[in-house]
Amino acid sequence: MNRPSAGTSLRFVVLVAGAAVMVVPFAMMVATSFKQQSYVLTPDLVPDHATFDNYVRAWTSSGFAHYFLNSAVVSLSTVLLVLLLGSMMAYAFARFEFVGKRVVFYSMIATLMIPGMMLLIPQYFVARDLGVLDTKTGLVMFYVAGQLAFTTFLLRGFFAGVPRELDEAMLIDGANRLHIYWHLMLPLARPALATAAIFTFLGSWDEFVWAVTIIDSQDNRTLPMAIQLFQGQHGTSWGLVFAASTIAVIPVIAVFVVFQRFFVSGLAAGALKG
Amino acid sequence: MSVDTERARTGPPVGTDENRRARPRPRSGAGARGSRLTPYLFLLPGLVLFVGLVLWPIVQAARMSLVDWKFTPGVPSPFVGLEHYDRAVHDPVFWKSLVNTGVYMVATVPTQLALGLALALLLNKAIMGKVAFRVLYYLPVVTSWVVVSLVFEYLFSTNSGLVNHVLHDGLGIGQEPVNWLGERWPAMAVLSMLGIWKGAGWAMLIFLAALQTVPRDLLDAASVDGAGKVRTFFSITLPQLRPVVAFVTVMLVIGGFNVFISVYVMTGGGPGDDTQVVLTYMYKQAFEFLDFSYGSAIAYLLAIIIFGLSFAQMKLFKYDEEAS
């Protein structure tokens, strides 16, 4: 431990080199987003004649302001619903004994192992039969259903750790279960709720496959599918594509950097206790 | 924030619920029947969504793979048994997609494990900029697959990409610029590199969390006994990490089989079907050729392979544990 700092310096150099590998693709993306069209095929990290034009055009004439709004509406609705429904289920699992508890709980856990894309085809037909193809409702419903198991699992662990004496004290004071859930459990579970919210937000903000499968009309596109379709149609307009990409990535990075301590705890909970 | 779930699970006996019910509860107004219904009321909204949109489709996928699925509602779909599975087994493109998926897994899983563990070990001690490194390494993990796939497509484009620029113009390697995404193996290499680049930070973060749980006194004891760093790692740290290594391996293998968006965005499975992976092939059959039954059969075959492999890995890790 008290060895000279040669080892530490070497470690630092290796970490910096690794970090560079992680950052260069992002740097290229951002650099290209500031390039004029005649420069986008030059591999420079610092653009000549940098321009903000791509952002203005992406946001206005290419419609990414609208796609951004769609993504925001869909992701935030998903987060709110997942937190509400997931915490209700978690509360039931943490505080009640009832017939079918184990079956329901373990079937939810089991679906965590099933890759989402396996269900794409039948889910498409369920969406068709419910009449929610090509709607934002169709996106939110299936995002919520898909994220519910993880959130319930995460929150159940947290609720189970809340001392039962607190519930009992409130029951004696005449509170009912709904009151306890809303005024005791949810406020206490704020860190766990934050963790669940972040995972759910990132999951739905970045989601692509379901969106590209059920959404047809331009009006309902979310950012990832809009970016992919835009690139498909304007193959070499990399400046615009990456301006739109940067716009899409900024909220993700902001959420991640600001809330990263919740992130680590959530991942650790999933890995070490799961 | 750590939660003592174990204690809570084994904690207060269920019987206390009975006592509680007997007490007067003025504001709730619900009798014994109401109490019995309460948990179901909390479960109901979520459960309806879960059963309708997740559990039911699992059953439905199996049914679709065994019939000749008719797109039009109300038209009966004739039962054809394992015909679609038989077709998959004799379909050279399915096999090609399976081989490509396997290659992707072999290329990405061990590399991500090794890199993740190495980075975690490097970051496990006090070092300048620790938080910054952690954020930077994790950044690709949280970024949308679509965006990073497009970025890699741009970096590896044949005539103007940064990679060819450095290799060809900078280092003078090769006569011609490499046509990265236009041929099978170079394209698989690029897809694998993207997978590793995007996933290594995830493995790192899990290992980093796990390293905190290796008992300090074990490491100290090893050090007192004169064990070097390498020896300590292989004799103490790695065995302690075994369950986490198992977890990460299983998750990475599942993730490897799930490769889809990068292939869909960067090569579309082409040229020809040369870079088709199982899920892009499934998607093509279902949503391009509208052969939903065949797509479902492919999806189920993949699910069976994934479950088999996950099960085998868990057995393997457990077996070793008992043997040692």
Listed by start position, the domains of chain A span 1-51, 62-273
User: Can you tell me the mean pLDDT for A118-129?
Assistant: 92
Report CB contact under 8 Å: A107, B244.
no
Which pLDDT belongs to residue B1?
A: 35
Checking if the pLDDT of B12 tops 60, the result is no
For residue B164, the chain A residue with the least C-alpha distance is A43
Specify the 3-state DSSP secondary structure of B117: helix
Residue B123 makes CB contacts below 8 A (sequence gap 6+) with A15, B130, B133, B134, B204, B208
Report CB contact under 8 Å: B303, A114.
yes
What pLDDT digit, counting tens, does each position of A207-231 carry? 999 999 999 999 999 999 999 998 8
Which pLDDT belongs to residue A268?
A: 57
Checking if the pLDDT of A272 tops 80, the result is no
Instruction: Kindly report the backbone phi and psi dihedral angles of residue B67, in degrees, each rounded to the nearest multiple of 5, phi listed first.
Output: -120, 170
**Are the beta carbons of A109 and A101 closer than 8 angstroms?**
no
Which CATH architecture fits A62-273? Orthogonal Bundle (1.10)
For residue B299, the chain A residue with the least C-alpha distance is A118
- Tell me A130's DSSP state: T
Which pLDDT belongs to residue B236?
A: 83
Give Rg (Cα) of chain A. 23
Which pLDDT belongs to residue A21?
A: 92
Confidence of residue B321 (pLDDT cuts 50, 70, 90): low
Q: Say what the ipTM of the complex is.
A: 0.89
Comparing CA positions, the residue from A253, A264, A195, A15 lying closest to residue B208 is A264
Q: Which amino acid is at B199?
A: G
Which pLDDT belongs to residue B28?
A: 43
Say whether residue B137 is in contact with chain A using an 8 A CB cutoff. yes
Report CB contact under 8 Å: B122, A114.
no
Give the B window 166-205 contacts with A, CB below 8 Å: 166, 197, 201-202, 205
Checking if the pLDDT of B32 tops 60, the result is no
Number of inter-chain CB pairs under 8 A, A vs B: 288
Checking if the pLDDT of B4 tops 50, the result is no
Comparing CA positions, the residue from A48, A212, A227 lying closest to residue B153 is A227
Checking if the pLDDT of B21 tops 50, the result is no
Other beta carbons less than 10 A from residue A171's beta carbon: 18
Q: Domains (ranges, CATH) in chain B?
A: 27-66 (no CATH), 83-323 (1.10.3720.10)
Sign of CA dihedral A13, A260, A141, A205: negative
Report CB contact under 8 Å: B1, A252.
no
Q: Of the candidates A126, A175, A209, which has its C-beta nearest B56's C-beta?
A: A126
Other beta carbons less than 10 A from residue B18's beta carbon: 11
What pLDDT digit, counting tens, does each position of B127-156 carry? 788 888 888 998 999 899 999 999 999 999
Residues of B in contact with A208 (CB under 8 A): 144-146, 261
Checking if the pLDDT of B50 tops 90, the result is yes
Q: Which of A185-194, B15-24, B123-132, B285-294 has the lowest mean pLDDT?
A: B15-24
Report CB contact under 8 Å: B60, A126.
yes
Cα separation of A67 and B65, whole Å?
A: 35
Residues of B in contact with A253 (CB under 8 A): 139, 142-143
Residues of B in contact with A104 (CB under 8 A): 43, 47
Checking if the pLDDT of A115 tops 90, the result is no
User: For B229-277, where are the alpha helices, taking DSSP H only?
Assistant: 229-232, 238-257, 261-266
Percent over 90 (pLDDT), chain B: 38
Give the residue carrying structure tokens 């969390």. Answer: B209
Specify the 3-state DSSP secondary structure of A163: coil
User: Can you tell me the mean pLDDT for A9-25?
Assistant: 90
Residues of A in contact with B216 (CB under 8 A): none
Cα separation of B279 and B191, whole Å?
A: 14
For residue A147, the chain B residue with the least C-alpha distance is B50
For residue B4, what are its two tokens?
A: 């003592």
Checking if the pLDDT of B17 tops 70, the result is no
Comparing CA positions, the residue from A274, A11, A154 lying closest to residue B210 is A274
Q: Could you tell me if residue A46 is left (phi over 0), alpha (psi between -120 and 50 degrees) or otherwise beta?
A: beta
What pLDDT digit, counting tens, does each position of B87-124 carry? 989 999 999 999 999 999 999 999 999 999 999 999 88
Comparing CA positions, the residue from B203, B132, B259, B146 lying closest to residue A256 is B132
* More confident call, B27 vs A206: A206
Q: How far is CA A120 from the centre of its chain?
A: 19
Q: Of the candidates B17, B139, B166, which has its C-beta nearest A97's C-beta?
A: B17
Checking if the pLDDT of B254 tops 80, the result is yes
Cα separation of A59 and A47, whole Å?
A: 21
Which pLDDT belongs to residue A265?
A: 65
Comparing CA positions, the residue from A228, A231, A223 lying closest to residue A206 is A223
Q: Count Cβ atoms within 10 A of the Cβ of residue B9 and give its class: 0-12 exposed, 13-18 middle, 19 or more buried.
A: exposed
What pLDDT digit, counting tens, does each position of B183-195 carry? 899 999 999 999 9
User: Can you tell me the mean pLDDT for A9-26?
Assistant: 90
Residues of A in contact with B66 (CB under 8 A): none
Q: Which amino acid is at B264?
A: Y
User: What average pLDDT does chain A have?
Assistant: 87
